Structure 1
């Protein structure tokens, strides 16, 4: 599982095998150079689960051509809802949302084949609707915000079309069901990045919340230690302590008696501080 999490102006790219953190890389954002730096240090796995980041997918294709890419089902669902909303107005949108919900429940190869057939049937049934266009005329309604000023036409059901294009792309690239195709008998491969995002990366955010106000350097040190604790064989932190870390600090010299200021915490007070019995009409009715 590969994912990036942002904190204090930085980003931590993490690689997780379901049990342990394999490696990580600090960067400013998820981009081709930072993902390349991380993946070049690793052995190509059989399957990589990603959330759909474009830079990561291009680096995976270039560096690990034999590795199967599995798109995270949770992020697929979120993208479809973004395009269709939870209450689509059209019948094709309602049917596609139902297909997406059915996709989340697929658990066997036969169910995957059945779902793929239903999706292609839906495509054929609504091919005309997907290609429907709206032309810019003087008497048309207001131009949608997504449409550029010089465009003379646009797809009427753009959200429906984008959702359909996403699922069609994932099927064409074979990014939907590698978690079923590569699994051995009795083996369950991951189909989401949730164990990484909701577990380790969420722990990073919680640690930073508990230690608010850290400088960028200290926050990176905290994240580094947090990730190191999830490595396969982390060492005892005390084993990193060297002899020079225990150097005796010089004892502070006692202050001369005349330089000691007035007592701050005792049973007395100083009139110079404005304390004492106050007289006046304050508080009276």
Structure 2
């Protein structure tokens, strides 16, 4: 008799292990007046998620590039409070998914609306956690349930390409010496340098979250501060989405800036562009060049914070 798979793992996570691409969970359904970005936002909200933004990218695409390949292209940033609290309290780098992204899109000439998220497998890989992490598995189940409630009748879409091995570390990390007595002042200086430096390199701050506020409300007093910045470079998502619309599961990218109590280092961490390249199996020279430039520009900006 074969052993029964543990019920801790949701069915969709188990299925994703055998799909063509186990790092992206994507659903599609015929578009109607009742199904779209608004219905998905309502579904996530009703399921207990905090929706930090639901941005229509078509306007910016048309304004900056003169056209869009999409009828709908939204990037919705969300987090589930209990799951996020559990992850950040146990794994200091988990703030890179506080919030995380839900991509919602419909191509011109196609009557299907799609919505997708990164899988628990992908998030575990990026954060260096066990692939059967119970919190991530439960969060994936909730994500799927919310998508299906916002898109009744949607079916799982199996992507026809396989992610490639990561050639570099999935997270980019920086540390700055920080006296705990002066940490708050230093944090303000560092964040000012980052915020002032975003626009010149084509980035925007899509969301800011003082996550330590929520941790303290829950009685978790681990950090002096814990801030997250969700960053997006329009040219990157515009270029890559032409080839892989599901790339929006990575955008905006969330950077965590934090310092633990008792430590003398401020840390900055974010998922780098090599995740895009590997998960999306990208070959296109223009898309790769845009991603490499974005990575180099952010690294250079963060280096300035230590000067």
Q: What is the TM-score normalised by the length of structure 1?
A: 0.22
| Structure possessing the higher relative contact order (Cα contacts under 8 Å, 6 or more residues apart) | 2
Q: Determine which structure has more spread, i.e. the larger CA radius of gyration.
A: 1
- Compare the two structures and name the one with the higher strand fraction: 2
